Chains A and B, each alone.
Chain A
């Protein structure tokens, strides 16, 4: 991305300015902190807030190595080493939950990216500005609604007696009688994927459309002179032009591969589909908060965090090797 290059230039310039200015030292010392007193006062309290709410809870990770009982004090807890983790990976429920999480996440990632790029490419071809803006505004409207509202809408649309999905499919003679979509596990992943697309596709296109707009128009002219057709221009000019955006978003998303979403699965899942709908987050909630098995639930949470961090670093490293824009 050109912004990054620009950023580097700005940084270089600032480094130079810094050297010119003899008043401000840049090494961390009491003296500098005193000179920059106001900046310190404006940022350190917020950093402390951050430490409390984001880093202090990491102490809680110790619970995963104990057989934690709320009634006992810290010193009295029984230490069990990696037993909780061993139990976790031997537990069929957890393995199923892991499968569901990865599957739904993967579906969301692929479907979300493909539809967002697809819609951006097609929107870009709309020449009537007004119409383009209307379509865009409407398409990202669902992004701003809560999952509670969205889940209600999904449930209504899929309902057996009056759901629009069943009605349309029956009118088109694709199915003979209404399907109970939410009562059968085999449909659940698909429903989650489709719901995500409905809610987020417009939002996803914003960034790709911006990337497409920033492609140098002379590239299209050159392609036209070479006799490229519309789809060839999409393939050889537009798609390479948005590659950097694609890679950076992919890296950002890969770290969240164990976040398949939680709300929709929790709100739409039921006893009949539990084998397909439960995700790691629901597992943690169920074992931890409802059943009071804090240690096991914490172990599952740690597993999730570690996988995320490792994946981000791997993705980042690969991007670096490929010479692409990277995140960290």
Chain B
């Protein structure tokens, strides 16, 4: 009896770890497959893709899909708008969030609780789509580039992350500066801000990703203005057209002003745009990875 338990306790971990490893590989495969498939389709001849059977690897190599994407001027302009809004939102958002978080981390600040409460409430409390739409309209932000920047500059979640982090910094760092007569803004800018690098990276990533991925604001506030179209919005339009026409290649010729006839199809164009849109994120994220784990955990700590 004893021998049996001993034997099973030696085998059990091996069985468990094998199954667990296989399961993890399965998770990896399920997550990665759609990307590999999309990359393969984006490099594969459009009409050949229609005959099916493309999995991980292009069968009939071509750069035609990417050429078709980049041939139209819209994509460059959309990319320019996407990059501009992302950079501007991130720079402004990070600066303002940190500055506000600094003031809310000062326990002697008289308005700390009041302003803090105003922000926390916004996490659950929202006027709703229609009143917001009217506000944007009243502010004259419809069909304006600023509609991408202003409404979402500072979010409660990022604020909580920053404040928690700043509170955790040792108070002695600022005390000597205070004795030397430095004002709060100087302390914030010269001492606190540079110390926040890891959490700054986190918040910057959150803001940048949110801004880069947004399409609904274009849809709602600027859809009639092609000059304000973003990459995601172009994707969204393309998704709509490919889903409703069920891969009808004739649609594309008119849509993309493309002379290449059946060489490219909506599905292959979509694959190419997907890759173009996803690449910037896939590129920055490994560098920022170690930071956002910290950020997320800071965010879950209350008060």
Instruction: Mark A residues whose CB is within 8 Å of B.
Output: 1, 3-4, 7, 10-11, 14-15, 18, 21, 24, 26-28, 32-33, 36, 38-44, 46-47, 49-61, 63, 119, 122-123, 125-127, 131, 134-135, 137-139, 141-142, 144-149, 151-153, 155-157, 161-162, 164, 182, 198, 202, 206-207, 210, 229-230, 245, 248-249, 255, 262-263, 267, 270, 281, 284-285, 288-289, 294, 297-298, 300-302, 304-305, 308-309, 312, 325-328
Please list 28 pairs of residues, one from A and one from B, whose beta carbons are closer than 8 Å in the complex, sorted by A's number. Answer: A3-B301, A26-B108, A27-B110, A39-B106, A44-B111, A46-B100, A50-B118, A51-B118, A54-B126, A126-B24, A142-B31, A146-B212, A146-B215, A152-B270, A153-B274, A156-B41, A164-B33, A164-B34, A202-B31, A206-B292, A229-B12, A263-B216, A267-B236, A288-B129, A298-B128, A305-B125, A308-B124, A309-B124
Q: Which of B67-75, B182-190, B252-260 contacts its partner?
A: B182-190
Q: Answer whether A267 and B239 are a contact pair too, CB < 8 Å, given A47-B115, A145-B281.
A: yes
A112 to B68, CA, bound (A): 39
A262 to B21, CA, bound (A): 35
A31 to B115, CA, bound (A): 19
Residues of A within 8 A of B274 (CB): 149, 152-153
A33 to B53, CA, bound (A): 70
CB–CB A297/B303 < 8 A: no
Rounded to whole Å, the gap between the CB of A153 and the closest CB of chain B is 4
Rounded to whole Å, the gap between the CB of A287 and the closest CB of chain B is 9
CB–CB A146/B232 < 8 A: yes
> Would you call the interface of chain B mostly helix, strand, loop, or mixed?
helix
Rounded to whole Å, the gap between the CB of A291 and the closest CB of chain B is 12
Tell me, yes or no, whether B166 is within 8 Å of chain A by CB: no
Q: Which of B57-65, B83-91, B149-157 contacts its partner?
A: B149-157
Interface string of B115-155 (1 = CB under 8 A from A): 10011101111111111111100000000000000110110
CB–CB B107/A11 < 8 A: yes
A226 to B108, CA, bound (A): 50
